[in-house]
């Protein structure tokens, strides 16, 4: 008799959420060959392929997409049941970083989801410019962080790939400006470097009229009509249009990365909560965002 094994489902889920066999194997602390073998065993049971390969890794097939919610329900139910039976709910402390331009919706989802499942874990949440998170992970100031990179590394779980596009307010008519007014980040950030490099490559004359350490500030300047800016595709609104004089696009990867010390069940559970939050549609409410404030220390007010 064919049966779905929960261990195979865990491996399938890890590979699906990281987008690669290598990343999935690392998450569940197995070798790549062991993870590959388990995926083949799962496909033999189902009788169909659950992943299709592409240049950067794998994506679920149609049958794999149908299996995803099943795998999530089964593994979550088993984990919850075991914790209840053993009386060993997760405890400890965790320091996470969320970029300020994603924090409004995503942070509420993450905290509500994680807090409802693991109320005994104390969180320190840093809402800041994501440019500093890589260094914070390296020096141990953060345990886990979400931020944008120009290219993901093997250590990263990719949450989303997006295009960066030069945009301006529809009625600002900045394409006809001889010297383009631009809004950029005012700190060391690869988005700033990509913006200025793109202008130079296009031989576009420009002047920086607005700078901000926050993506929210750059977007505000563009929406006010005083400047053009390099924005993520998720920033598109009816009042903003791409600049016809700056057609080239740059890609950005939103990734989840851990520090070397960011291991163990608490970090694993937070990683799962973060992935669930960023999979959700922007307009879909998450779990109840109300949480005991005494358990959360926020290092910076999320504006």
Q: For 48-66, how does the pLDDT look when each residue is reduced to its tens digit (9 = 90+)?
A: 999 998 877 899 999 999 9
* Per-residue pLDDT, 35: 94
Mean of per-residue pLDDT scores for the chain: 81
Q: Coil, helix or strand for 139?
A: coil
**Of 263 and 24, more confident:** 24
Residue 209 has pLDDT above 80, yes or no: yes
Eight-state DSSP code of residue 233 = G
For residue range 145-154, list pLDDT tens digits in order.
Answer: 998 888 888 8
Please report which confidence band the pLDDT of residue 137 belongs to, taking 50, 70 and 90 as the band edges: very high
Domains, the chain? 6-86 (1.10.10.10), 92-151+256-298 (3.40.190.10), 162-252 (3.40.190.10)
Q: What is the tens place of the pLDDT at every residue in 68-115?
A: 989 988 887 787 777 767 655 778 899 999 887 655 667 777 887 788
Check whether 27 has a pLDDT greater than 90: no
Q: Please report how many Cα atoms fall inside a 13 Å half-sphere around the Cα of residue 298, on the Cβ side.
A: 16
What local confidence, expressed as pLDDT, does residue 94 receive? Answer: 92
Q: What is d(CA 123, CA 126) in angstroms, rounded to the nearest whole number?
A: 10
Q: What is the mean pLDDT of residues 22-34?
A: 89
- Identify the pLDDT of residue 256: 92
Q: Which runs of consecutive H residues, i.e. helices, occur in the chain?
A: 6-18, 21-27, 32-46, 62-86, 103-117, 133-138, 190-201, 215-224, 265-279
**Its pTM surpasses 0.95:** no
The residue-averaged pLDDT of 119-143 equals 87
- C-alpha 277/C-alpha 284 separation (Å) is 10
CA atoms within 13 A on the CB side of 173: 1
């Amino acid at each position: 008799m064919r049966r779905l094994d929960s261990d195979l489902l865990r491996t399938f889920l890890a590979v699906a959420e990281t987008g690669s066999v290598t990343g999935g194997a690392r998450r569940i602390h197995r070798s790549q060959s062991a993870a590959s073998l388990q995926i083949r065993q799962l496909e033999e049971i189902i009788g169909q392929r659950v992943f299709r390969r592409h240049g950067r890794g794998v994506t679920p097939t149609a049958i794999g997409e149908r299996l995803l919610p099943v795998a999530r329900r089964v593994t979550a139910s088993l984990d919850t049941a075991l914790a209840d039976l053993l009386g060993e709910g997760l405890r400890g402390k965790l320091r996470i970083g969320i970029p300020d331009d994603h924090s409004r919706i995503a942070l509420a989802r993450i905290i509500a989801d994680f807090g409802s499942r693991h109320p005994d874990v104390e969180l320190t949440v840093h809402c800041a410019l994501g440019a500093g998170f890589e260094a914070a992970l390296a020096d141990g100031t953060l345990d886990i962080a979400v931020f944008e990179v120009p290219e993901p590394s093997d250590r990263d779980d990719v949450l989303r790939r997006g295009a960066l596009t030069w945009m301006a307010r529809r009625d600002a008519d900045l394409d006809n400006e001889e010297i383009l007014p631009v809004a950029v980040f005012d700190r060391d950030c690869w988005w700033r470097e990509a913006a200025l490099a793109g202008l130079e490559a296009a031989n576009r004359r420009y002047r920086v009229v607005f700078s901000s350490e926050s993506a929210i500030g750059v977007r505000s300047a563009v929406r006010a009509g005083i400047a053009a800016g390099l924005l993520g595709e998720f920033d598109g609104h009816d009042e903003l249009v791409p600049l016809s004089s700056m057609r080239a696009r740059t890609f950005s990867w939103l990734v989840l990365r851990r520090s070397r010390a960011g291991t163990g069940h608490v970090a694993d559970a937070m990683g799962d909560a973060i992935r669930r939050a960023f999979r959700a549609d922007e307009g879909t409410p998450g779990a109840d965002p109300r949480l005991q404030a005494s358990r959360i220390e926020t290092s910076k007010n999320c504006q």
